[in-house]
Structure 1
């Protein structure tokens, strides 16, 4: 029981480190500027996921009780 408590305390202390902004290591630089970019991206810019990573849903579900629109193309077979 004591070992489990010590391991949990060590794990909790390991997870509460200081959060600093990222920077390249000493002597290194950021990647080269992309050819189509207007300026050199910063480390924060490089960490933002592009919109293609998680696109917005186009088939939103009905959130509240709303009448559905009539579908003119939902015709019975002839």
Structure 2
């Protein structure tokens, strides 16, 4: 049974490609965004911005701390 699974999985191992991404023959890159001076390269299009992948804070809270007073936290009138 294990051999069958291995034989079925072998064709899937070659699916990933390490070559540079390029548009299909006869196709062009997307047009430049409105207001941009140049068309972005494939590398620029694939690089996520900080808004798409924000950095996470991994700093752990080691001890509890008092909150500072909030001048704008007023009771309702």
Q: TM-score, normalised by structure 2?
A: 0.57
Query: Could you tell me which residue of structure 2 aligns to residue 4 of structure 1?
Result: 5
Cα deviation for residue 41 of structure 1 reads 0.6
Query: Could you tell me which residue of structure 2 aligns to residue 19 of structure 1?
Result: 18
Taking structure 1 as reference, are residues 53 and 76 closer, same or farther at Cα in structure 2, changes over 3 Å only? same
Taking structure 1 as reference, are residues 11 and 69 closer, same or farther at Cα in structure 2, changes over 3 Å only? farther
Asked if 1:29 corresponds to 2:18, the answer is no
Cα deviation for residue 28 of structure 1 reads 1.7
Cα deviation for residue 5 of structure 1 reads 2.7
Cα deviation for residue 12 of structure 1 reads 5.6
**Paired residues, number:** 73
Query: Could you tell me which residue of structure 1 aligns to residue 60 of structure 2?
Result: 63
Gaps of 5+ in 1: none
SS at match of 1:7: helix
Gaps of 5+ in 2: none
Asked if 1:48 corresponds to 2:52, the answer is no
Q: TM-score, normalised by structure 1?
A: 0.57
Q: Distance in 2 between matches of 1:69 and 1:11?
A: 60
